[in-house]
Amino acid sequence: MKAKVYQYEKCSTCRKAISWLRERDIEFSSFPIRERTPTLKELKAMVVAHGGEVRKLFNTSSKDYRDPDLKELLPTLSEKQVLDLLRERGNLIKRPFVIGDGIALQGFKEETWGKAFSG
């Protein structure tokens, strides 16, 4: 299975990541994260990749995340409720969000991606 890349086209980090993949002829499918969020199974796989820390899935620099109502609500939610919220509001997910065989990445760090895709 090739990697799935959930991204936002206006995000410069996402554009860098897509360019990096294309330059290396790495096969991937791209999805607009706001319109088509990662599946529950993919979100759970990313939680595992983050050592169980569901908060690492969040795009903490987004305006949506900084909403005071959301900040107050988050600590009261179960992991399932948090994942449901992320499925409903793709803008809250840190991007790019990349998932595939043995690959679970968020954000773009060339060194990390180089290691992940060298397998």
pLDDT digits (tens, 9 = 90+) for 55-111: 999 999 888 899 999 989 999 999 999 999 999 999 999 999 999 989 999 999 999
- Cβ-count burial of 45 within 10 angstroms (0-12 exposed, 13-18 middle, 19+ buried)? middle
Q: What angle do CA 9, 13, 15 make, to 5 degrees?
A: 45
Q: What angle do CA 114, 22, 87 make, to 5 degrees?
A: 80
Q: Domain range for residue 27?
A: 3-117
- CATH for 10: 3.40.30.10
- How far apart CA 65 and CA 59 sit, in angstroms, is 7
The predicted-structure confidence for 18-59, as pLDDT tens digits, reads as follows 999 999 999 999 999 999 999 999 999 999 999 999 999 999
- How far apart CA 52 and CA 1 sit, in angstroms, is 24
Please count the structural domains in the chain: 1
